[in-house]
């Protein structure tokens, strides 16, 4: 072997993949799929029969879990699709800043200050009104493929 040193460029993440492969024919309605590099929730799946030459095809209609946009994709049922790792985490709301960011309390007692208020009007009103009334609120945060967004709210009683 040689005496030269090998230098590796370190990356910020632990190297965990944002997606995992799953055969297209096994993805069902209600599941998740990546279409055009966006994490989506499948709302409709239809499978076409095989032709004279070729594969059965799966037609996916899905809604982007962060933007709400409808996306479609057609994939041979024997091929693999990317499925995003989707996590939901609950955090307690501590404060809402004037620039539209929320301050959340994590499980280990630290604060998380990098999330914006939700874009959904009804959810935004619930968060602002509940906070103004001094309620103890728990926000559900959905994360997938490096993105995070507030997706739900629970009232756990007055402070």
Considering the domain boundaries, does residue 61 fall inside one?
A: yes
Query: Which stretches of the chain drop beneath a pLDDT of 50?
Result: 1, 10-13, 15
CATH assignment at residue 112? 2.40.50.140
Alpha-carbon span 102 to 26, nearest angstrom: 38
Q: What is the pTM of this model?
A: 0.75
Question: Quick one: pLDDT at residue 123?
Answer: 87
- Hey, what long-range contacts does 106-115 have (CB within 8 A, 24 or more apart)? 114/148, 115/141, 115/148, 115/149, 115/150
Domain boundary among 34, 51, 84: 84
Which residue range(s) make up the domain with 23? Answer: 19-84
Question: Quick one: pLDDT at residue 3?
Answer: 54
Q: Residues 25, 66: one domain? A: yes
């Amino acid at each position: 072997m040689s005496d030269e040193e090998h230098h590796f460029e370190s990356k910020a993440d632990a190297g965990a993949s944002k997606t995992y492969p799953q055969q297209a024919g096994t993805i069902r309605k209600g599941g998740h799929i990546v279409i055009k590099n966006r994490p989506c929730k499948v709302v409709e799946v239809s499978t076409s029969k095989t032709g004279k030459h070729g594969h059965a095809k799966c037609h996916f209609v899905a809604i982007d879990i962060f933007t709400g946009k409808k996306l479609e994709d057609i994939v041979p049922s024997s091929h693999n699709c990317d499925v995003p790792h989707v996590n939901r985490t609950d955090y307690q709301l501590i404060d809402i800043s004037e620039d539209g960011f929320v301050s959340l309390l994590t499980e280990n007692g630290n604060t998380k200050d990098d999330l914006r208020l939700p874009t959904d009007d009804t959810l935004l009103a619930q968060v602002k009104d509940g906070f103004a009334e001094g309620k103890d609120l728990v926000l559900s945060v959905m994360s997938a493929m490096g993105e995070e967004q507030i997706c739900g709210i629970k009232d756990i009683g007055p402070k």
